[in-house]
């Protein structure tokens, strides 16, 4: 599965306004809730519940908040970037700049894990991360992901 198979262009936020973890999750969840028709409050609750188990800030400036919703009928991915960085309780305690928000139906554990692994793997490419950080428009983010998707 390619990232662009599930990343919605309307769920790409290139300049997150939020400056804290809860705010970032609420901001990332808003377009995903609109696109899927799920309740925004419920989506945020699921994501924050997952964060309580352990931060999804994996270090290296990356956060991959994720969760599962019973009412969802497909995987959906959102993207956000914070130019200034956000304290996301990352393993390395450094600010987080790049976010991929993954929400999957409750019964899709295999796909959920495969997509998390794919996102983690491509974000090990420092050139790719730099392109995401340097993008000034949504289409630049999508193009960078498209090219990285094809390389894998």
Q: Return the domain boundaries, the chain.
A: 3-151
Q: Is 56 helix (H, G, I), strand (E, B) or coil?
A: coil
Catalytic annotation, pick one of 40, 66, 97, 112: 66
Q: Is 142 exposed, middle or buried (0-12, 13-18, 19+ CB in 10 A)?
A: middle
Task: Going residue by residue through the chain, which has 152 residues, state the pLDDT in tens, using 9 for 90 and above.
Answer: 899 999 999 999 999 999 999 999 999 999 999 999 999 999 999 999 999 999 999 999 999 999 999 989 899 999 999 999 999 999 999 999 999 999 999 988 788 889 989 999 999 999 999 999 999 999 999 999 999 988 87
Question: Cα(65)–Cα(45) distance, rounded to whole angstroms?
Answer: 12
- pLDDT in the model for residue 111: 84
Coil, helix or strand at residue 125? coil
Which one of 3.90.1300.10, 3.40.640.10, 3.40.930.10, 3.90.45.10 gives the CATH number of domain 3-151?
A: 3.40.930.10
Instruction: Give Cα 118 to chain centroid, integer Å.
Output: 12
b/e string for 77-96 if b means 16 or more Cβ within 10 A?
Answer: bbbbbbeebbebebeeeeeb
**pLDDT at residue 151, rounded to an integer:** 82
Is 40 in the active site? no
pLDDT of the residue at 145: 96
Q: What is the pLDDT of residue 1?
A: 82
Task: Quote the strand ranges of 17-146, DSSP E.
Answer: 57-59, 62-63, 66-69, 76-86, 96-105
């Amino acid at each position: 599965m390619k990232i662009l198979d599930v990343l919605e262009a309307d769920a790409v936020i290139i300049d997150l306004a939020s400056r804290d973890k809860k705010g970032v999750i609420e901001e990332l969840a808003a377009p995903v809730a609109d696109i899927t028709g799920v309740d925004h409050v419920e989506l945020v609750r699921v994501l924050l519940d997952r964060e309580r188990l352990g931060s999804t800030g994996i270090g290296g400036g990356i956060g991959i908040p994720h969760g599962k919703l019973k009412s969802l009928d497909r995987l959906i991915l959102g993207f956000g970037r914070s130019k200034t960085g956000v304290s996301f309780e990352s393993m390395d305690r450094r600010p987080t700049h790049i976010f991929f928000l993954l929400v999957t139906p409750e019964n899709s554990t295999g796909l959920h894990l495969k997509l998390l692994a794919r996102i983690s793997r491509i974000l090990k490419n420092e050139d790719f991360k730099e392109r995401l950080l340097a993008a000034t428009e949504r289409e630049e983010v999508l193009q960078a992901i498209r090219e990285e998707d094809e390389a894998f």
